[in-house]
Amino acid sequence: MSHLLTRRRFLIGSTLGASAITLSGCDLLDQNTDVANILRPAEQLTMKVQRLLQGRDALAREFTEADISPSFRVNGTSAPDSDEYAQLAEGKFKDWKLKIDGLVERPQEISLADLKKLPARTQITRHDCVEGWSAIGKWTGVPVALLLALAGLKPAARYVVFHCADELEKTLDGSGRYYESIDLVDAFHPQTILAHAMNGNELSIGGAPLRLRVERQLGYKQAKYIMRIELVDSFTGLWGGNGGFWEDRGYEWYAGI
Ligand SMILES: Nc1nc2c(c(=O)[nH]1)N[C@H]1C(S)=C(S)[C@@H](COP(=O)(O)O)O[C@H]1N2
Ligand SMILES: [Mo]
């Protein structure tokens, strides 16, 4: 059954991927919005069925060192195009701090050095991109659950939003900035981590200084270049209001594999 679900997710994924290749600009937006509107009930079902069948805490498959892919493709932004980010990278992120704010009791600003001192989890998992490629990598990072415990959730908090450094689409109003979000079930899942190392090395520019791993979902949920985590009760008023860069362009919010 879960194999069938996986296949179905890929079929949907490749439909969107294929339309992205043949269309551009407004065509792409319209087309993907139409597709998304038809698929939305199916997406709700996928999430409910997946959680029902596999449980809230079921682990995504983990692999061995021997399974690690020799190369891991770069997708989307390969280096954020901003002076601020360039400066931070130049200084090896010594001046960078992860902000945690929104519906929390104790807003945080945590340096990379301090994040690296926190208990970490290492997992070898497969990344699946909707564009039809996969790669296995070893990720080491801090469980999101631990950071949320540090900050303390206010009772109204429902979603965790990850704000990134890059604008994947250049716009005047900044709405092309990459961001993603997950609900608290995925946020507290044991394999949901903010990775600061890949395959035993600290992150290169591809995602540095911190990237999300939320292993039961597709590639576009795995936010790179994280600057800030915000706890919210809804996505209203947050860019396009759909909880993520690609979601605002028609992709499903729950991208279960
Ligand atoms: N900030 C940011 N995160 C992002 C993206 C992006 O463009 N910007 N692309 C997403 C997509 S579609 C995929 S498949 C993965 C790619 O990660 P990689 O470049 O390490 O392969 O990052 C995801 N996270
Ligand atoms: Mo992707």
| Average pLDDT, integer, range 61-71 | 97
3-state SS class at 47: helix
Q: Whose CA is nearest to atom 1 of ligand 1?
A: 224
- How many contiguous H segments (helices) and E segments (strands) does the chain have? 6, 10
User: 73 CB under 6 A from ligand 1?
Assistant: yes
Q: Whose CA is nearest to atom 7 of ligand 1?
A: 76
- From the list 190, 186, 172, 171, the residue with the least C-alpha distance to 221 is 186
Query: Model's pTM, two decimal places?
Result: 0.86
Sign of the C-alpha dihedral computed for residues 141, 168, 230 and 61 taken in this order: negative
Give the residue, 200 or 11, on which the prediction is more confident. Answer: 200
CA–CA dist 124, 117 (Å, integer): 21
| Average pLDDT, integer, range 79-93 | 96
Assigned CATH for 59-245: 3.90.420.10
pLDDT exceeds cutoff 80 at 223: yes
Give the range among 40-44, 79-83, 126-130, 145-149 with minimum mean pLDDT: 40-44
Point out the ligand nearest to the CA of residue 165.
1
Give the residue, 26 or 177, on which the prediction is more confident. Answer: 177
- pLDDT tens digits for 157-182? 999 999 999 999 999 998 999 999 99
Instruction: Give the model's pLDDT for residue 42.
Output: 81
User: 45 CB under 6 A from ligand 1?
Assistant: no
Compute the mean pLDDT over every residue in the chain, rounded to the nearest whole number: 88
Q: Closest ligand 1 atom, CA of 129?
A: 14
pLDDT exceeds cutoff 90 at 53: no
Query: In the chain, where are the structural domains located?
Result: 59-245
Q: Whose CA is nearest to atom 15 of ligand 1?
A: 219
Q: Whose CA is nearest to atom 10 of ligand 1?
A: 220
Point out the ligand nearest to the CA of residue 210.
1
- Ligand 1, pocket-test mutation among 222, 246, 249, most atoms within 8 A of CB: 222
pLDDT exceeds cutoff 80 at 127: yes
DSSP string, 58-80: PPPP---GGG--S-----S-SS-
Residue 249: partners with Cβ closer than 8 Å, 6 or more residues away: 28, 29, 32, 240
Give the range among 34-38, 155-159, 205-209 with minimum mean pLDDT: 34-38
Q: In the beta sheet, which residues pair with residue 111?
A: 97
Give the residue, 38 or 138, on which the prediction is more confident. Answer: 138
Instruction: Give the model's pLDDT for residue 8.
Output: 42
3-state SS class at 32: helix
Q: Which amino acid is at 248?
A: D
User: 247 CB under 6 A from ligand 1?
Assistant: no
Best mean pLDDT range from 38-42, 48-52, 81-85: 81-85
Exposed, middle or buried: residue 22 (CB in 10 Å: 0-12, 13-18, 19+)? Answer: exposed
Give the residue, 36 or 128, on which the prediction is more confident. Answer: 128
pLDDT exceeds cutoff 90 at 205: no
Point out the ligand nearest to the CA of residue 75.
1
Q: Whose CA is nearest to atom 5 of ligand 1?
A: 76
Q: Closest ligand 1 atom, CA of 180?
A: 3
CA–CA dist 116, 193 (Å, integer): 12
The answer, yes or no, to whether the previous bond of 107 is cis (omega within 30 of 0) is no
> Which pLDDT band holds residue 16 (cuts at 50, 70, 90)?
very low
User: 219 CB under 6 A from ligand 1?
Assistant: yes
